[in-house]
Amino acid sequence: MFKGSFTALITPFDKDGQIDEAKFRELIDFQIENGIEGIVPCGCTGEAATLSHPEQKRLIKIAVEAVNKRIPVMAGTGSNSTDEAVDLTEHAKKAGADGALIITPYYNKPTPRGQVLHYEKIAKKVDIPIVLYNVPSRTGVSMKPEVIAELSKIDNITAIKEASGSLEQVSQILSLCDIDVLSGDDSLTLPMMALGAKGVVSVAANVVPEEVSGMTKAFLEGNTEKAKELHFKLYPIFKAMFIETNPISVKTAMMFMDMLNGVLRLPLCDMMEENQKVLRNALIKAGLIRR
């Protein structure tokens, strides 16, 4: 159901740390104008961990309204509390989102059986396409391919954002079931698509949406040489987006590009000066800024 490039949208804040709704709408229009296939508000890149639930629900509603059915909206609705995840997913459904991206429960580190029960409950409670989200570097626990295969049997669990950084994991998932796989690591998108993944939920697309979209489109259309060319062109930017904890790097890059003020919510903070220099040089080499 979901394929191509989906932007893991940042959440813009004003100088006082409050959500800048006008800027959020502006960034959504920028994404659509530059050919992105879908957007993901309120994920890790959107600093969901520091958003209140009313803020998260408001952003999902704005995203659906701003998109106005032009592209799919995959709303981040995960939580380490199953009941909270159900509540956020129900809101996404009512708001008109096209799907829900639900991260594996973090901190409490459920067993594989607990993971299955978590997603089963959400899927049964809310009839919306669900995208599993495996990102062990953030959650402290990984989903085994066998668990993903079991969950793929549930009708409305349609895809997984796989951000383990392991091509072996992707190979095992796709050998066990036919769930749609989306890359959760920009630099691994093309290798994962070579194994059968359908696209990416991209951090880098916040700054280069047209190019990221062009890479996945080229591969899906069978133009592997063009896709490979774009992969190598974008690779330095892909890596630069993770110099520091996401979304510090991408928000700083957008500030350098005059797209954003770069404000983050604590405990995330301004990028270290030496890393700013590395990031700035990567942007200059990519032709995204002049100095």
The Cα-based distances of 62 to 45, 96, 102, 235 in angstroms read 17, 10, 19, 32
Torsional sign, CA 158, 164, 165, 170:
negative
CA–CA separation, 286 vs 79, rounded Å? 36
- Between the two ends of the chain, the Cα-to-Cα distance in Å is 41
CA–CA separation, 166 vs 148, rounded Å? 15
Residue 268 has phi, psi (to 5 degrees) of -75, 145
Other C-beta atoms closer than 10 Å to the C-beta of 69 total: 9
Torsional sign, CA 226, 230, 233, 239:
negative
CA–CA separation, 45 vs 103, rounded Å? 12
Q: Which residues are catalytic?
A: 133, 161
